[in-house]
Amino acid sequence: MSDTPVPPPPPPPGFSPTSPAAVRRGAPWLRGTGCHADVVVSSRVRLARNLAGTPFVKKASREHRQRVALIAQARLQAVASTEKLAWVDLSACSQLDRTLLVERHLISKELARGEDPRGVAISHDEQISIMVNEEDHLRLQVIRSGLELSEALAQIDALDDRLEGTTLGASVPILADASVAGGPGGGASGLNYAFSPKYGYLTACPTNVGTGLRLSVMLHLPALKLTGEMEKMRRAARDMSLAVRGYYGESSEAVGDFFQISNQTTLGKSEQALLATFAQEIIPQVIHYEREARRKLIEKRRRMVEDQVLRALGALRYARLLTPEEATTLLSQVRLGILAGLITDVPEQTVNQLILLTQPAHLQRVLGREMDQGERREARADLVRQQLSV
């Protein structure tokens, strides 16, 4: 192992994913653009990768983790200009900045928690994030607005190739240049992934082994919820070995009728086969069901839906105290009202971004001060009122 610290890749001038300017811009994946954006809020693709010859993160000593961080940083620095990546050293980050990145879906709660060497590289457009020393040494993620899984998969595949860095069919092993490479896991010249022809990309948890690929979409399903069909959908998803989670993924509850659906099988099916089943068969069906439910609701129970979405808008316009859950739930209903043509004086984009800006860390960064829970409820209601004022 090389003891020489590698300096982190410099962020592109003027870019910081946690700066007030970036935060006020909202998240690109909440733009409401892309295919089927009325139902599919965003598409996310991630790859789990580990360095060869190195213990997985949970088993790794602090020195091992430090080395993984150095190797990853060296490689990220080498590709930083192509990918326009900025490195965020999470072990040196404030709690607020960590929570901000979790709220923006750029890091996981797990990565945000620890103090050991860890970090994330984030692209200028916030589509790419590469977590270092999460459950696996590297977790590559691409997140885009709308149903754009195939674009996201192509993007992450190319990124994965660049991080690996060797030329196609290279016969010179990375280890041959160990002094430059920084050890068995590779380094500046390319990463040497742990891989077995039998089990594919080797991961800390065997549920990710094989392709290491997780495809997921965040869906807005207010009509299926209203018509009581959501439980049916959950059961069907479970039968197809899909995971249904809440707004923040792993073990989070669904808030405001936003659900994340993802594949669970990673071994024995190729990336393209997984994509074909998920993006071309399963998700289009869910989209169809939600649209049908919306259509029937408007056709048969228009007054009830109108009442509900306009009450939600009223509450947001006049409330003086709001919790994040209440804000999200009401904004979700207003979004349904806009998409169903029942609310015409509020832009969808405003509602989408408010879902993010009303989260605790975003609220504090936008308003430029730290606040306790009580203050935040007041400030949240003020912000929403101001943005949705008639």
Partner 1 sequence: MKCQKCDNEATVHEVMIKGGKQVEKHLCEICAKAEGFAVQSKGQVATLLTQFLATQVTPTAQGEGVRSACRSCGTTYAQFRATGDLGCPDCYAAFDAQLGPLLERAHEGGGRHVGKVPKRLAHLQRAAMTEASELAPKTPPAPSTGAPSGPVKATRTVVDPHVQLASLRAQLQGAVAGERYEDAARLRDQLKTLESGANEAQGEAGIAGQVQGPNRPGEQPT
Which residues here bind partner 1, judged by CB under 8 A?
50, 52-56, 58-59, 157, 160-161, 164, 166-171, 173-175, 184, 192-202, 204-207, 209-211, 213, 238-239, 241, 243, 264-273
Give me the residue label for tokens 């006049």.
318
Helices (H), the chain: 20-25, 62-83, 95-103, 109-113, 149-164, 178-181, 222-226, 230-239, 271-275, 283-318, 324-339, 348-357, 360-367, 373-387
Report the C-alpha gap between 32 and 41 in whole angstroms: 6
Give me the residue label for tokens 């105290």.
321
What is the smallest separation between the CB atom of 140 and partner 1, expressed in angstroms?
12
Is 161 or 378 the residue whose CB approaches partner 1 more closely?
161
What is the smallest separation between the CB atom of 232 and partner 1, expressed in angstroms?
15
Could you tell me which residues are beta bridge partners of residue 122?
86, 129
Is 207 or 280 the residue whose CB approaches partner 1 more closely?
207
Neighbouring CB atoms inside 10 A of 108's CB total 21
What is the smallest separation between the CB atom of 171 and partner 1, expressed in angstroms?
5
Structural contact between residues 352 and 335, judged by C-beta atoms closer than 8 angstroms: yes
Q: Which two tokens stand for residue 356?
A: 């993010």
Is 95 or 270 the residue whose CB approaches partner 1 more closely?
270
What is the smallest separation between the CB atom of 242 and partner 1, expressed in angstroms?
9
Ramachandran bin of 133, using left for φ above 0, alpha for ψ from -120 to 50, beta for the remaining angles:
left
Is 146 or 212 the residue whose CB approaches partner 1 more closely?
212
What is the smallest separation between the CB atom of 122 and partner 1, expressed in angstroms?
24
At a CB cut-off of 8 Å and minimum separation 6, what does 304 contact? 297
Is 242 or 330 the residue whose CB approaches partner 1 more closely?
242
What is the smallest separation between the CB atom of 258 and partner 1, expressed in angstroms?
20
Is 46 or 104 the residue whose CB approaches partner 1 more closely?
46
